[in-house]
Structure 1
């Protein structure tokens, strides 16, 4: 059995005067949300054998804040392929995950992460899948399990979505209508 947890980067600062999208940092709300998600991950007892992430500034800062809340460095492997990747590219990344890793955290961007969940979880995947289909907000966790022994065996429609946690589920003040 394999478990894949996806983490979308936290809310970034669109008003920051950076020259490249890649360099866009988190805004204060994003920093708070990421730390809250890290605390929630710790409270759930989540542990990862491997962490792989986009090297974009907003993902790096998200994982820094998540680590702060989690109480431990997640020590990600940075993978440029994840930056603004499609679901197909993300699936290639999943297929190449280390064989010995049973629970992996993949941190990146939308729409790729949302599309990956919708690809891997069957249409009749239940209420959580329906929520993903509506919106996969920033700093949200989605956890899927696979009845597979190898990451290369992960296929479309084969996942069970076991967790979908948005920052606003943890603190309503982190919802979309607050600064």
Structure 2
């Protein structure tokens, strides 16, 4: 599903469920657990089935966000996006996430990040939030697809988005 002229689409994803098996690991280095890998693959299949194909991916440098993107990208997506690993997205505030998004160059962007910032950022974007009771909590692997009637990401303003979809792949956190 391509984005029409004068529109931009954001696919905003919280990383999938991570493993806590090794307490000696730094938070930045935690991998996904089995459920997280399954959820991320399921999310990739869901995105492909709806034609939500990012042309640019803005991803935190944390291992769990990178693994989430890798599992999503394993789905039969037709587009090969530009990938930007962004250190500043690691536990980013909503304001930092907005700044990174404003630097995007492609019409359809996927951003993969962390709570609590991503939940706050997601809540600021649409004019009307999804009715899903878990939207404000933004559980692991939750994904919001939101469209904006703008020509350039520099023009994005919170509260101007239209929700296209919201999914929680495994319905748990």
When normalised by structure 2's length, the TM-score is 0.87
- From 102, 107, 115, the equivalent of 1:102 is 107
Contact 2:102 2:156 in 1 (8 A): yes
Contact 1:54 1:82 in 2 (8 A): yes
The DSSP-based 3-state class of the residue aligned with 2:131 is helix
- Alpha-carbon deviation of 1:168? 2.6
Q: 1:116 to 1:126 in 2, by over 3 A?
A: closer
The DSSP-based 3-state class of the residue aligned with 2:53 is coil
Residue 76 of structure 1 is matched in structure 2 by: 83
Taking the TM superposition and a 5 Å limit, the aligned residue runs for 1:143-158 are: 143-158=145-160
Residue 116 of structure 2 is matched in structure 1 by: 111
How well do the aligned residues superpose, as a CA RMSD in angstroms? 1.9
The DSSP-based 3-state class of the residue aligned with 2:75 is helix
When normalised by structure 1's length, the TM-score is 0.85
Runs of 4+ in 1 over 4 A off after TM superposition: 71-75
- From 92, 109, 112, the equivalent of 1:85 is 92
Between the aligned partners of 2:9 and 2:77, the Cα distance in structure 1 is 21
Between the aligned partners of 2:63 and 2:99, the Cα distance in structure 1 is 23
Unaligned runs of 5+ in 2: 1-6
Count of matched residue pairs: 166
Greater percentage in helix = 1
